[in-house]
Amino acid sequence: MLDDRKKKILQAVIDEYINTAEPVSSGALVKKYNLKYSSATVRNELAELEGKGYLDKTHTSSGRVPSEKGYRFYVDELIKDDNISLEEIKYIQSKLGTKVNEIEDLTKIATTTLSEITHYTTVSIGPKAQTQIIQEIKFVLLGSRMLMVVIVTDSGLVKETIIKYNEDITESQVETLNNLFNSKLKGKPLSKIDKPMEEYILSEIKYSIDVIKPIIEQINKIIEAEENIYLEGANKSLELPEFKSLELVKNFVNILDEKDLMIDVLNSGLAKDINVYIGDENENEQLKDFSIVTFKHSVGDKDLGTIGIIGPKRMNYSKVISVMKYISKKMNMDLKMQDDAEQDENRTEDDKNNSN
């Protein structure tokens, strides 16, 4: 499609524009990138690249600026090698190396680290509860009228909620609840706590509907609750030259404030890969002046959360993608190790059972 010289010039234009945020002139390209052609030749090439839709101009006599098609080509074809330094790798290792007890904490640490290294605004959400498999449901009595429900899923996600009653709950009631819910729901996906299930449990249990009803309600609430969004480095973006426009700043703050929007975007990405949405490629109208890069992290097919970067279309895609790739790999390794440890645990138990 594009010959080598055009590719090289296109890459130079985009690299330069990402660096300087100023329209790139033919003269500057020749000087800074040691091109062995004159500015006039470069001008002809630039005109052709513009004709093909890879570049734009801000006005008739201005330098060139990448179009969205240009950025897309750049992301797909032109950035090849890893753009991550040894210091950055070490920093990531030190941050992700700290022991955490809950997956969400690891996600938060990764989100913060990603923002620190790239200097962009990052967002993340935890795993989608609905798809998780219930490993255990535990009812715990706090005082005499407060019941805590704890649900543990197979990927180690822990969700808990509290129900307050106007009458006392006894330990034997709690025992019954534990048995009933576990026998019925262990191994099922969380989304299974639905209407038929509710009716079944209500028919099964011997005491008052007033005890069960709020439990089901409350469990459904935490399952359906949109994952809380975690945001880091909103202020960093504002230092970028594109945010000299008040309009854009307001749009940006509005986007970050509208949590459902960010949750949708994070959820829409494909698993097992890094997703790049440039400007108009975003479904939502509000996002058309921004680019978003996301990745889901998971072990096997278990969704463990999604992390994303949002910034201007003039984003340092090469750095962002490299750092994300590394963080993604590192998180996977950490979780794999943990998973293997659990496997070991199971195997040891099996061995014990066999030797008995």
Partner DNA sequence: AGTTAGCACTCTAACTGTTAAAGTGCTAAA
Partner DNA sequence: TTTAGCACTTTAACAGTTAGAGTGCTAACT
Amino acid letter, 52: K
Part in contact with DNA (CB under 7 A); list of ranges 40-48, 124-132, 197-205, 315-323? 40-48
- Helix (H) or strand (E) holding 64, with range, is strand 64-66
Q: What distances in angstroms separate CA 83 from CA 79, 130, 222, 328, one per listed residue?
A: 9, 37, 40, 15
Does residue 211 belong to the site contacting a copy of itself (CB under 8 A)? no
Nearer CB in complex with DNA: 17/120: 17
What DSSP assignment string belongs to 70-116?
Answer: HHHHIIIII--S----HHHHHHHHHHHHS--SSHHHHHHHHHHHHHH
The pair phi, psi for residue 118, each rounded to 5°, is -90, -15
Query: Cα 2 vs. chain centroid, distance in angstroms?
Result: 34
What is the rounded CA–CA span in Å between residue 323 and residue 169?
52
When CB distances are held under 5 to 8 angstroms depending on the partner's kind, the choice from DNA, a copy of itself, none that residue 238 binds is a copy of itself
Residue 169 token pair: 């709950």
Which of 37, 91, 230, 243 forms a contact with DNA (CB under 7 A)? 37
CA neighbours closer than 13 Å in the CB half-sphere of residue 220: 12
Does residue 234 belong to the site contacting a copy of itself (CB under 8 A)? yes
Nearer CB in complex with DNA: 43/325: 43
Does residue 62 belong to the site contacting DNA (CB under 7 A)? yes
Q: How far is the CB of 23 from DNA (least distance, A)?
A: 7
Nearer CB in complex with DNA: 42/265: 42
- Helix (H) or strand (E) holding 293, with range, is strand 290-299
Nearer CB in complex with a copy of itself: 12/215: 215
Which of 162, 202, 271, 333 forms a contact with a copy of itself (CB under 8 A)? 162
Q: Given the rule CB under 7 A, which residues bind DNA?
A: 22-28, 36-41, 43-44, 46-47, 50, 57, 59-64
Q: Given the rule CB under 8 A, which residues bind a copy of itself?
A: 101-102, 135-136, 138, 140, 142-146, 148, 150, 152, 156, 158, 160-164, 166, 168, 218, 233-235, 238, 243-244, 246, 249-250, 253-254, 256-258, 341, 345
